Structures are given as C-alpha cells and as structure tokens.
C-alpha cells in the first residue's frame, strides 16, 4: 500500500471518527433539536455528510451504484438542486425516521465502501485515481465544516432551553490572562501583491479561493490582536447600541427590530456580564476575544473607535507565511480562551488564527478569473456569492488542519450564532 493510500485512509477514518466523537456526550433527544431554520439537527448533519460521499464519490465512480436508500437523496440533500429536490430545511427536525441507529448504520456502510476504494487507489487508472483523491479531499473538508456547524447549531439549540444544558463541563475555570498590552498595529505600505491560491494535486483548497491574482493594497495598518470582551463592553456601556450614527442602515434595523443590546448569548445582571456557552453559563472572560457578534456590530464598534474593519486581502497579506497557531476544536475547549499576554512587535501578530472567526469589510464575491463549474459541485460555493461577508482565520470550533490564510468563510452580515469576532484596521493616510 502506497504512502498516499495509507495517508488518505488514515485521514478519512480520523475525520469521520471525529464527527461521531462529537456526539459522545449527547442523548438521542439532543440529536433532533432545531431551534431555527438556519440551524440543523445533529442527526441530519451525520446523514448529510455521509450522503455527500455517497452522492459525489460512489455514484461518480460506480455507474451501476445503487443507493442504500434512494430517499436519502431527498432527505439529506442540503442545497444541490441540480441533482434533486432537497427536503425543506426548516422541517429537518421532523425527521424522526431514519432513526439515529439507522443513520449510524448508513455511515458505517458508506465508510466500508469508501475505504475499499481508497485501498484500490493504486490499481485505478491515473485519471480516475486523481478524481477519487480530489473528491475525497473535498468530502473530508466538507465534513470538517460540518463538525463546526454541529457544535454551533447545538449551542444555539441548547440556548433555547431554560435548563441551559451543558455540552461539556470544564475541568477548571477559565483563567483570565494578565492585562494584555494596549492595541498596536502593523503598518504596511502601498504595494501590489497576490491574493488567493491555485489548485494543485497535493494541496487542497476550495474553488472560491482561486485563482491567484494580483491585488493592489493601499497603505494600511492591522491590529496585532482581536478586540476583547472588555473593550467591547466599553462600547456597550458608552451606549453604542443606541447610537444610530454608528450603524449601517440595515444593521440599525436589526438593532431595533431584534432588540439587540448585547452580543448573542450574553446577559447582564447586577452589573456583571455572563454568557451561555457549550460549557454552560459562564462569566465573561474580559481578555477573551469578543465573539458571537454580527458584521453590523463589528462595523459599528470600528466606527465608534474611529477605525474600520480590514479587507480580506489586507488580512490575508498579513497572515501569509505566518504559523497557523491558535485555539481550535482540537483543543476541546469550545469557547474562546482569554488572550495570552506576550510581546508584540511590527513583525508579529497575535491570534490571527483560531479563537474566533474575524469579520472583514469585504463582500463575498468571485475573484477575477473565477469560473463556477456547471456541474452539481459548482453549487458548493459559487451560488452564494451574494449579500454575504467574508470572515477569516477559523475559530475554537474549527479543525486546525482545515484552516489556511486563503480560506474564505462567509455569512450574512446579521448572523451571530457562529463564533465571530473582529480586529481593527485603518488607512495609513488617515494616521
């Protein structure tokens, strides 16, 4: 067995087992929760990720392949309309059948067939072996996205229960770091750079990260760390949620219509701030990066601070060639940790990766030269390039192996249930 086959086999098993391991502390009743149409039940995630491998790998490799249950193409299809009609997203919690046991048997059956194909990789024609390898990489990265979604969806679902269920108990309280250093900035002069990446046979990327292209950066400065909870509390207590001049018009409508006065999951009682997390109800860690805020809240804070959010190109330029270190799902602490105090300089950045996704001011759109493929997988990213904003860096719920500087996450600007924060930037000409 070649090293490529061994590595692929090990990686496949590791990623698939990790998804199941995330369910170890859950009861069957937890698996069917769906508090809003924008989240999905855990059981549905388990079925959908398996359906993805069955649909896009097994059916492409075996023309005569017969699905384990043809109705799964309807029940577990998310948004691939070119291959069928998805079951209504808002009603996924109604799917008491297939049962949890049946979904797990479905996973096991598909895993056995996929592992068989991986073990025969060396015997396949070169073109077919390349196709299988590419599709496996896509499927595994897709599954890692759903590992994060499983936890963020569960968090949102649990938050609607007055019992405030705990997904995982912390063995010890989160320790506040020493007071962190004042906010400093990395200054970058105007220059032409390259943004994005190009696909290769050995390095995976999503199609929305391509192609690599030239981009001119005006002179800018990027903060060496994210904004902390303590700093965001200053915005709250300066009446930031009640000052319309700080807000984009759509953001102000959300503030008014949804009565935003705090980040999602936060409460204030007797002058103290707490938040509901996957580890239960916790005091706000003052030196942790702010999290569970919308683009509109991040943008309003930046205006209040006399600065702005970075563009995705500015963020990527600074992150390029820097070590990917931070708090990820691998650490098994599912709320952002307090930032560690350490010396910063113009050559260093703090917490670019992990902890919280970071909002940018960039709309999610196609790079110059991007072409969406006209096949079912073309629906994966390209058709969402409208009305959403780009986030960078990963969070405490993102697998470490999943993230890279060119990665482009995207959400609607009003959404808050993901682990989202931000850092500040400004134009050098404004200094």
pLDDT (0 to 100) of residue 307:
98
The conformation of residue 224, written as its DSSP 8-state character, comes to S
If one counts every other C-beta atom within 10 angstroms of the C-beta of residue 120, the result is: 12
The Cα 43–Cα 55 span in angstroms is 18
Q: How far is CA 375 from CA 56, 270, 372, 379, in A?
A: 11, 56, 9, 8
pLDDT (0 to 100) of residue 200:
65
User: What are 269's strand-pairing partners?
Assistant: 272
Q: 237: part of which helix (H) or strand (E)?
A: helix 229-237
pLDDT (0 to 100) of residue 122:
87
Residue tagged 């569960």 (tokens): 154
Instruction: Give CATH for domain 185-430.
Output: 3.90.1580.10
If one counts every other C-beta atom within 10 angstroms of the C-beta of residue 61, the result is: 16
pLDDT (0 to 100) of residue 252:
98
In the chain, domain spans = 3-159, 185-430
Helix, coil or strand: residue 105: helix
Per-position b or e across 309-343, b if 16+ CB within 10 A of its CB: bbbbbbbbbbbeeeebebbbbeeebbbbbbbeeee
CA atoms within 13 A on the CB side of 199: 12
Q: How far apart are the first and last CA of the chain?
A: 59
pLDDT (0 to 100) of residue 179:
75
The Cα 107–Cα 98 span in angstroms is 12
Residue 188 CB partners (closer than 8 Å, separation 6+): 217, 219, 220, 221, 222, 314, 317, 318, 428
pLDDT (0 to 100) of residue 1:
47
My answer on whether omega of the bond before 211 falls inside 30° of 0, hence cis, is: yes
* Segments of the chain with pLDDT less than 50: 1, 343, 345-346
In contact, 352 and 319? CB cutoff 8 Å:
yes
- Of the candidates 219, 225, 223, the one whose C-alpha atom is nearest the C-alpha of residue 193 is 219
User: What are 289's strand-pairing partners?
Assistant: 228
pLDDT in tens, 377-399: 888 999 999 999 999 999 999 99
């Amino acid at each position: 067995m070649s090293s490529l086959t061994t590595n692929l086999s090990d990686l496949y098993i590791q990623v698939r087992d990790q998804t199941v391991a995330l369910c170890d502390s859950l009861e069957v009743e937890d698996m069917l929760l769906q508090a809003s149409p924008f989240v999905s039940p855990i059981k549905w995630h388990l079925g959908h990720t398996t359906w993805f491998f069955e649909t896009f790998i097994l059916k492409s490799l075996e023309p005569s392949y017969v699905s384990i249950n043809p109705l799964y193409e309807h029940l577990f299809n998310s948004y691939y309309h070119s291959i069928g009609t998805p079951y209504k997203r808002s009603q996924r919690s109604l799917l008491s059948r297939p049962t949890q046991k049946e979904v797990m048997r479905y996973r096991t059956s598909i895993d056995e067939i996929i592992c068989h194909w991986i073990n025969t990789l060396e015997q396949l024609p070169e073109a077919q072996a390349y196709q299988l390898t590419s599709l496996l990489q896509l499927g595994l990265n897709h599954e890692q996205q759903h590992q994060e979604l499983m936890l963020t969806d569960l968090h949102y679902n649990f938050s609607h229960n007055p019992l405030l269920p705990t997904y995982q108990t912390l063995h010890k309280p989160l320790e506040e770091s020493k007071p962190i250093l004042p906010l400093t900035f990395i200054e970058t002069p105007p220059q032409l750079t390259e943004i994005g990446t190009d696909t290769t046979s050995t390095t995976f990327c999503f199609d929305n990260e391509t192609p690599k292209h030239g981009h001119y950066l005006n002179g800018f400065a990027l903060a060496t760390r994210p904004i902390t909870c303590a700093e965001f509390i200053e915005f709250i207590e300066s009446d930031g949620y009640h000052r319309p001049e700080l807000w984009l018009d759509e953001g102000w409508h959300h503030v008014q219509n949804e009565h935003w006065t705090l980040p999602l999951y936060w409460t204030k009682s007797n002058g103290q701030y707490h938040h509901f997390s996957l580890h239960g109800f916790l005091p706000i860690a003052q030196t942790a990066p702010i999290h569970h805020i919308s683009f509109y809240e991040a943008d309003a804070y930046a205006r209040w601070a006399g600065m702005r959010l970075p563009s995705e190109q500015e963020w990527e330029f600074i992150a390029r060639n820097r070590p990917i270190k931070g708090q990820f799902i691998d650490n098994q602490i599912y709320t952002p940790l307090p930032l560690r105090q350490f010396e910063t300089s113009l050559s260093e950045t703090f917490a670019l990766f992990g902890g919280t996704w970071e909002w940018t001011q960039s709309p999610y759109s196609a790079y110059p030269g991007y072409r969406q493929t006209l096949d079912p997988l073309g629906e994966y990213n390209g058709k969402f390039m409208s009305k959403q904003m780009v986030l960078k860096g990963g969070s405490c719920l993102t697998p470490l192996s999943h993230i890279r500087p060119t990665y482009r996450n995207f959400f609607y600007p009003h959404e808050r249930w993901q682990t989202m924060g931000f850092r500040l930037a400004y134009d050098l000409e404004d200094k």
